[in-house]
Amino acid sequence: MGLKNFFENIFKKDEVKEEDIQKIDEEVIEDEEKLEEDLLSSEIDEVSPEKIEESKNTDNNNSFKKILDSKEKNINIQEDFKESFKSDNETQDIQINSQDSIEDKQQLQEDENKEEVRETLENEGTVVVEQEKKGLFARLKEGLKKTSNSFTSKFDNLFKGYIKIDDELYEEIEEILITSDISFETTIKIVENLKSNIKKKNINDINLVKPELKEVVSELLRDNNSKLDVYDEQSIIIIVGVNGVGKTTTIGKLASKFKKEGKSVLLAAGDTFRAAAEEQLEIWSKRADVDIVRHKESGSDPSAVIFDAMQKAKSKNIDILICDTAGRLHNKVNLMNELGKIMRTVNKEYPDAKKEILLVIDATTGQNALNQVKTFNEAVNLTGVILTKLDGTAKGGVVLSIIDEYKIPIKFIGVGEKVDDLQEFDYNNFVEALFDNSKE
């Protein structure tokens, strides 16, 4: 390898090693010897040793000066390489230190950002909760849109056409309430209370009638207790209702709700009569990640299935057992008697458990829902009602009649197909959504 190529390769490298410097020294010596041999061989004739010595001692001998210059030059190159090597290492150290400094700053910034986020979440946790509440109300409002539009728009149009409060106005109010699927008895109560309040408060302005009506409806629902009594001890929930009201879906949504709240949940497939009912409930159990008790034999005794489920709930210390039952027409005496048998089994085998018997009603049935409440309540002493499919009807007024006439609380209302659309009934939110016909 020539010196030129060698040095070029050295310059291409990122670092200069000690072995490279040693190799330079060896190359320099070899070149000196080669130059001396070339000098000697440049004479055509033989040259005596004296002649050679004389040539070396001659100041004008260009060849020897070339050797000396070359050697000195190579020494200088070695020194340059050493300085370069040292400088490169120092530069590399500076770059490493600089990179470390940048990384430290980045890490410090990330830590500061994380701390800021943590403090924000702590300081604004209530804001997140409020946003969640607003989200629930927005879904409720959307679900009640049909009822609200029918209910409120009629009143708005009514009050625009009157300039004074008289008996004719009250008759118009009665008609609107009845056509909103509020029973006659409840309608009369609402109108009488409205008259009384207007008289007591000496209200003469037609524009103040609607706010007062809203207050009367709110007062009617105020005693509704929507809280389920299933949180302090082992509990059992019996779901009843006619076919097609959404019992199985409601059970699945309840299971998901309780599971998210940290409760252990077990389902009992007590609807052994309807085809595919047990399979549907098993699908919901997998979605909610809860266990299910079902019998393999088709048409098994519902009481036997629920009996086995209670034994498992007691042995596994399950928090909440939810039992499905066969859908039945409220006017079929033999099927209603079957519910009585189930309840006797529950009371005997699970006496210490908290019990909720919930009737699931399709809100689209309107006034027929009242007949269902009456018949099922006579058979099993209902503790609450779940009203489904409110988002698909303008007949949400039935809520008022159920609470007023039967004093049975509304526990949940369904305002959509999502799991979170099964909401605990909040009478304040319900009234606000009912009377809010804004376009937002």
Known binding-site positions for GTP: 241-248, 324-328, 388-391
Q: Which residues contact 308 (CB under 8 A, 6 or more apart)?
A: 268, 293, 295
Q: How many residues does the chain have?
A: 440
Q: How far is CA 306 from the centre of its chain?
A: 33
H or E stretch at 413: strand 410-414
φ, ψ for residue 268 (rounded to 5)? -120, 120
- Cα–Cα dist 92/84, whole Å: 12
β-pairing, 384-388 with 354-362?
A: parallel
CA atoms within 13 A on the CB side of 200: 7
Q: Return the structure tokens found at 418.
A: 């999502």
Q: Which residues contact 385 (CB under 8 A, 6 or more apart)?
A: 358, 359, 360, 361, 373, 402, 408, 409, 410, 411
DSSP three-state, residue 409: coil
Residues annotated in a binding site: 241-248, 324-328, 388-391
φ, ψ for residue 359 (rounded to 5)? -95, 125
Q: Return the structure tokens found at 384.
A: 């609450």
- Cα–Cα dist 226/384, whole Å: 8
Give the other-Cβ count within 10 Å of 72's Cβ: 10
The CA distances from residue 256 to 138, 400, 429, in Å, are 21, 28, 23
Q: Which residues contact 18 (CB under 8 A, 6 or more apart)?
A: none
Beta strands in 188-340 (DSSP E): 235-240, 265-268, 291-293, 320-323
* Cα–Cα nearest to 259, from 241, 239, 284, 281: 284
* Cα–Cα nearest to 357, from 389, 307, 322, 333: 322
The residue whose two tokens read 């159990």 is: 285
- Cα–Cα dist 290/264, whole Å: 8
β-pairing, 354-362 with 320-323?
A: unpaired
